[in-house]
Structure 1
């Protein structure tokens, strides 16, 4: 069977953008009542009489009255044309009771801000046979080259989001496999692959070629990976966290020791100064990059013990650099937010189900979580209120893995039901803000390293 046949690339009809109709209404202009205190009635009478005092059909008047008339004419001999005076501004127009009774929409002020429509069905569903149903592994990642990688048994497949092409890049034997973790390098070309036999392989995706193997990095399987520039950090079942500089022959340049169980979650902060690690021992650690050493450093910044189950789901906030979100397993079911400077827990929300993965929306203050046991859903939350915006259902088993597209709009989810689904949950590229481009250092020629 060829690599492409392992996927069912039948696409569903994509959802179009939803546009809210504007509510048009006619303004009712009320009549205005003249302000009598601001009116000059003598001048009004004078103007109504054509600017002169009528003498026709009038009885002779006394000299004093005639003098008064002359003086009045002199006073009004100026450029004054308005008769009525309105000092106060008219009140704002309001809808009448009759119009309010037409529709509930007229009772509220129209919101000019365009709301984002979130499709409730996946944009596309792909087959993912032999996907391991293991909560502690990390088998899906989406690179900056817009290609996502997924580990299926002993193989790793690449799926190009731009043209839907599929290729197999890795096929290991049973002695080395299965694949237990994958992670794209920042350049979007090199892929790190953790194996069950404790080795880590480096692959060039463009050349479909293995560059080198980091042997015996751990004492057992490598279940978690993350990059910090040229440093590949690995977490194993042996509870160790190791920093590997892939540019040099002696690649181990530092390590952290603090967990007593398998390290199933690893995430470097955007600045590269702090590392978050979660383990099967229910612990969450925050490490300082400057404190790693080759002697297994145990000087963590914070040792956080609030979770009551394995901590795999980790995600750094993109708009608050020192805020970390973490999720607990089936015995915990909570999403917690941490200030990684002080170690304080900012908030804790019980989701009611196992938290498998967390992803921040880069364009809005929102957080997406994937779950298992019992509803197998994706939940979108408003941050920081943690009001539930929507739930996305479709998977029939727990949603173990999630990855985000380079533009931050589309999310890929892989579940134990052996399907991979694409969700347009964070908006469309046209509406999304352009993310600033970051410079990445070129990778060394791995062929020179033996």
Structure 2
């Protein structure tokens, strides 16, 4: 439910209706513009990553204590909690979650599987409706992200080393390791931590990655070195996204200037810098294309999430004065006004971007 007073609308878990925040006496989180609050999930400890299932029926949240909780976005209930001896012993954060792709004719035991990576170096396959861990990979590093190929046959991991490991999804065996060559004349791979990776939805072997070395690399997962690169973006979270329709890349940088940028995938050339929000901008940890019309991003410093009109590049909505930085954002991908999950501190805020009727 929502608690309403004469100053603002505060948000608590198990919301039953949608209400906008008041703009008066802003002493806590508040909404501006076209953002509409749907509900709030209290996860009891800090949220590190989140992911909607492909059908939008489940929202998986990775937490700082190494547990994964699965929620119903419609009822706000926690349906499942995933933890085992490994994660309890390591007690290190979940860094990424991906739902396994499956077809409708597969057996039920293969239809509710997610893959989670951990700062401990673990990569776990969970059958989340039963709570069983089906397989564990132990990488000797901090594993920071993972991505699934469009056909679901392969997945890759990135971490605190420059190497990107590619695995066969069926056998769970490593089939390639991508890393820079020894050449001093080429920048054909990363040289520091790699925080983000995203396969191109239209090309089964092609993906991009970004990290601390101020580069975004283009890869074919069958080759050892990168194909080409973009110089500039300083990626410190899941701040890479690909729009397969326009073939555009969105990057978010954790820095004071040029934080949000749009690039052409085919040429690797910059299309434009998204103008900053005067006096109210953030160093970005995450960004995504939001439906056909918008962009959403979030970060620290100002501790806010921001929705931007893709055509005008004007800000249309804010979720402001959050208790901590925004470390993760995901949307369910349904329609032009998708449901968005925004993670800050121990909360997930569920919002929609809806044009207000004047």
- Interval containing the TM-score (normalised by the shorter chain): 0.7 to 0.9
Give the Cα separation in 2 of the matches to 1:119 and 1:342: 34
| In the alignment, structure 1 residue 139 sits paired with structure 2 residue 49 | yes
* Deviation for aligned residue 1:318: 4.3
- Gapped runs of 5+ residues in structure 1? 1-7, 17-116, 133-137, 428-450
Which residue does 1:168 correspond to in 2?
Answer: 81
Instruction: Encode CA deviations 1:11-66: one digit per residue, 9 max, x unaligned.
Output: 052159xxxxxxxxxxxxxxxxxxxxxxxxxxxxxxxxxxxxxxxxxxxxxxxxxx
Which residue does 1:254 correspond to in 2?
Answer: 176
CA shift in 2, pair 1:232/1:347, >3 Å: same
Give the Cα separation in 2 of the matches to 1:198 and 1:396: 29
Which residue does 1:230 correspond to in 2?
Answer: 153
By percentage of residues, which structure has more strand?
Answer: 2
**Superposed counterparts of 1:265-284, under 5 Å:** 265-271=196-202, 272-284=204-216
Which residue does 2:127 correspond to in 1?
Answer: 204
Q: What TM-score, normalized to structure 2?
A: 0.77
Give the Cα separation in 2 of the matches to 1:378 and 1:338: 21
Q: What TM-score, normalized to structure 1?
A: 0.62
Which residue does 2:113 correspond to in 1?
Answer: 190
Give the Cα separation in 2 of the matches to 1:118 and 1:308: 29
CA shift in 2, pair 1:350/1:254, >3 Å: farther
Which residue does 1:157 correspond to in 2?
Answer: 69
Which residue does 1:92 correspond to in 2?
Answer: none
Bigger relative contact order (CA 8 A; separation at least 6): 2
| In the alignment, structure 1 residue 347 sits paired with structure 2 residue 269 | no
- 8 A Cα contact 1:15 1:119, kept in partner: no
Which residue does 1:421 correspond to in 2?
Answer: 349
SS in 1 for 2:298: strand
Give the Cα separation in 2 of the matches to 1:210 and 1:310: 29
- 8 A Cα contact 2:18 2:36, kept in partner: no
SS in 2 for 1:174: helix
* Deviation for aligned residue 1:233: 1.2
| In the alignment, structure 1 residue 319 sits paired with structure 2 residue 242 | no
Give the Cα separation in 2 of the matches to 1:126 and 1:176: 22
CA shift in 2, pair 1:307/1:332, >3 Å: farther
CA shift in 2, pair 1:318/1:303, >3 Å: closer
SS in 1 for 2:59: strand
| In the alignment, structure 1 residue 383 sits paired with structure 2 residue 314 | no
The structure that has the greater radius of gyration is 1
* Deviation for aligned residue 1:200: 0.8
* Backbone CA RMSD of aligned residues: 2.6
Instruction: Encode CA deviations 1:379-408: one digit per residue, 9 max, x unaligned.
Output: 221224312222233623211101112525
Count of matched residue positions in the alignment of Structure 1 and Structure 2: 303
| In the alignment, structure 1 residue 220 sits paired with structure 2 residue 141 | yes
Instruction: Encode CA deviations 1:162-199: one digit per residue, 9 max, x unaligned.
Output: 44331212242233633232222223621111123312
By percentage of residues, which structure has more helix?
Answer: 1
Give the Cα separation in 1 of the matches to 2:119 and 2:324: 24
Give the Cα separation in 2 of the matches to 1:366 and 1:309: 21
Give the Cα separation in 1 of the matches to 2:44 and 2:76: 18
- Gapped runs of 5+ residues in structure 2? 1-11, 21-31, 103-110, 180-188
Which residue does 2:230 correspond to in 1?
Answer: 304
CA shift in 2, pair 1:205/1:274, >3 Å: same
Give the Cα separation in 2 of the matches to 1:387 and 1:119: 12
Instruction: Encode CA deviations 1:250-307: one digit per residue, 9 max, x unaligned.
Output: x111232111111111111111342110112222111124x43xxxx11x22221123
* Deviation for aligned residue 1:247: 0.6
SS in 1 for 2:37: coil
Give the Cα separation in 2 of the matches to 1:349 and 1:361: 15
Which residue does 1:263 correspond to in 2?
Answer: 194
Give the Cα separation in 2 of the matches to 1:310 and 1:160: 29
Instruction: Encode CA deviations 1:215-271: one digit per residue, 9 max, x unaligned.
Output: 33xx3111111111121111111122111112125x111232111111111111111
SS in 1 for 2:68: strand
Give the Cα separation in 2 of the matches to 1:308 and 1:14: 36
Give the Cα separation in 1 of the matches to 2:53 and 2:284: 23
* Deviation for aligned residue 1:332: 4.4
